[in-house]
Amino acid sequence: MSASVSVPALPPVPTGLWLGGDQVHPGPVFGVRNPATGDVLIEIADATPADGATALADAVTAQPGWAATAPRERAELLRRAWELVIARRDEFALVMTLEMGKPLAESRGEVDYGGEFLRWFAEEAVRIGGRYTRSPSGTGRILVTEQPVGPTLGITPWNFPLAMGTRKIGPALAAGCTMLIKPAAETPLTMLLLGQVFADAGLPPGVLSILPTTNAAALTTPLLTDPRLRKLTFTGSTAVGKLLLRQAAERVLRTSMELGGNAPFVVFADADVDAAVTGALQAKMRNTGEACTAANRFHVADQVRAEFTAGLTERMSELTVGPGYAPDVQVGPLITDRQRTTVAELVQDALDRGARVTTGGNALPGPGWFFEPTVLADVPADARILREEVFGPVAAIAGFSGEAAGVAAANDTEFGLAAYFYTRDLDRALRVSEALEAGMVGVNRGVVSDVAAPFGGVKESGLGREAGTEGIAEYLEPKYIALP
């Protein structure tokens, strides 16, 4: 644990809702906490169902005008927003570290990553296509045009407070959709600051509303039953995603769902073990393990298991834990005490079933919600940690023998977001990439996320794709016009 440091002052952030292009401070407020101390950082407006209704009415009013703007105009606005985010990198990063806990270097990385979705979709806004062709019989012509879906509700998680928002706002605005955003109650400040950026960039009133709330269901349920809302895009747990899908089904609402993961990290017998250890550290410890793409379980060929376990144990035990704003910290606190308890329970369950700790294993005492970087070896197949999303700094290692067994172990889950594997054999790399049941596969690398690549999962990890050239299609409806 790093030596204690004083908490830096929170940069000025908007504390009201963004409604109608302005800051609005209605009645109730709630406190946003610093997970490194547990203390309240600031109190902000708590959106009510009435605020949701106002935001939707604003979005509906603004929709035709926004859809009719020239694509170049939308592109330039998004580009200006990107420039403003980058110009304010340090401010965004400190706000993010204070409300979410991640080390400052990672927050700066997220500002660049999250900002990039605005630049990318600025570039996509002017490339929305269509087609014109003859029908096979030659009797008619087919004209296909892409139109914005319409007012959209985006629900974003706490783990990447900027990037998970911009990955939705960028394509929605580029496509010509208006949007309501409900950020996570744990980390609303980064999104409120982004609202300021869009106001400064000149976004017309009503195109984007930002509604932090402590009562998500009260806010979103009436919105999801309102026929004027045309789409829901959600990033969060599979359990909540299923509830929202049930609500959305009532109105056959268009949905994009980025849900939970249980990413396998497979090390084959022919892997470069040093490289695999480095990749494992990235895949596990990015964002303190609180990423849906995080490697959740390590399946390692018996021939290299001892070497891999020793290497990962050494690297994990060298990491510095502490408040994200302290110098040289590599691992921040977990988001809440509840999350830390869940991690501790998964570790205990694995130990009870016969796993052993090679480093870490415990919650750290003192203020804040810290957990030691932990490696568990010899984790048995029935341990909960191999089945449930950990969202914490714990690497669980299990063995296997033979390629087929490695692939079977990797696919033995209801999730299918990311998967990683290490091998030096090109044929195996292609075979295994095709056999893995995941939306994203990292081959000999521990990070897959890329603004230009389609992000999303199969099985219970979700529906649709964000980012890449695929991302904007989620906000467009093809319309077929039949001509003689």
Judged by CB under 6 A, which of 63, 97, 156, 159 binds ligand SSN? 159
CA atoms within 13 A on the CB side of 147: 12
Q: Is 282 in the site for ligand SSN (CB under 6 A)?
A: no
Residue from 255, 262, 288, 293 binding ligand SSN (CB under 6 A): 293
Nearer to ligand SSN, 102 or 230 (CB): 102
Longest dimension (CA), the chain: 77
Report the amino acid identity of residue 410: A
Count of residues in contact with ligand SSN, rule CB under 6 A: 7
Measured CA to CA, the distance from residue 185 to residue 156 in angstroms comes to 10
Question: What angle do helix axes 273-285 and 305-317 make, rounded to 10 degrees?
Answer: 50
Q: Does 291 bind ligand SSN (CB under 6 A)?
A: yes
3-state DSSP assignment of residue 146: strand
160 binds ligand SSN (CB under 6 A): yes
Give min distance, CB of 242 to ligand SSN, in A.
18
Q: Determine the number of helices (DSSP H) and then strands (DSSP E) in the chain.
A: 13, 20
Our measurement of the distance from residue 50's CA atom to the centroid of its chain's CA atoms, rounded to an integer in Å, reads 28
Pick the closer one to ligand SSN by CB: 18 or 160. 160
The CB density around residue 316, as the number of other CB atoms within 10 Å, is 24
**Which amino acid, 329?**
V
Cβ-based nearer residue to ligand SSN, 93 or 163: 163
Residue from 95, 155, 162, 292 touching ligand SSN (CB under 6 A): that is 292
Cα within 13 Å of Cα(461), Cβ side: 25
Question: Smallest distance from the beta carbon of 4 to ligand SSN, in angstroms?
Answer: 29
Give strand pairing partners of 33.
40
Q: Report the nearest approach of ligand SSN to the CB of residue 35 (Å).
A: 17
Query: Residues 163 to 192: which contact ligand SSN by CB under 6 A?
Result: 163
State the nearest-atom distance from the C-beta of 466 to ligand SSN, in Å.
Answer: 8
Residues 433-462 that bind ligand SSN (CB under 6 A): 449
Query: With respect to ligand SSN, which residue has the nearer C-beta, 30 or 455?
Result: 455
- With CB under 6 A as the contact rule, which of the stretches 5-13, 23-31, 85-93, 156-164 interacts with ligand SSN? 156-164
Q: Is 312 in the site for ligand SSN (CB under 6 A)?
A: no
Scanning residues 21 to 60, which ones bind ligand SSN (CB under 6 A)? none
Q: CA angle 327-319-373, nearest 5°?
A: 125
Q: Which is nearer to ligand SSN, 206 or 446 (CB)?
A: 446
Task: Decide whether 163 or 203 has the Cβ nearer to ligand SSN.
Answer: 163
Q: How far apart are CA 392 and CA 370, in angstroms?
A: 10
Question: Per-residue DSSP letters for 35-60?
Answer: TTT--EEEEEE---HHHHHHHHHHHH
Stretch that binds ligand SSN, among 57-65, 159-167, 321-329, 473-481 (CB under 6 A): 159-167
Contact region with ligand SSN (CB under 6 A), list: 126-134, 286-294, 298-306, 359-367: 286-294
CB of 219 to ligand SSN, least distance (A): 22
CA 119 to chain centroid, in Å, comes to 18
Q: Which stretch binds ligand SSN (CB under 6 A): 157-165, 356-364, 381-389, 393-401?
A: 157-165
Q: Is 238 or 293 the residue whose CB approaches ligand SSN more closely? A: 293
Closest distance between ligand SSN and the C-beta of residue 200, in Å? 25
Active site positions, annotated: 258
Site for ligand SSN in 328-387 (CB under 6 A): none
Identity at 241, one-letter amino acid code: G
Token readout for 307 is 């070497």
**Closest separation between CB of residue 261 and ligand SSN, Å?**
8
Of residues 312, 294, 297, the one with CA closest to residue 359: 312
Residue nearest to ligand SSN (CB): 449
- What backbone torsions phi and psi does residue 33 show, to the nearest 5 degrees? -100, 155
Secondary structure E strands in 92-237: 130-134, 141-148, 152-155, 179-182, 208-210, 231-235
Residue 29: CB minimum distance to ligand SSN, A:
28
Residue 211 burial (10 A CB sphere; 0-12, 13-18, 19+): buried
Query: Which CB atom, from 144 or from 239, has the smaller least distance to ligand SSN?
Result: 239
| Distance from C-alpha of 287 to C-alpha of 232, rounded to nearest angstrom | 26
Element (H, E) at 422: strand 418-422
Residue ranges that bind ligand SSN, judged by CB under 6 A: 159-160, 163, 291-293, 449
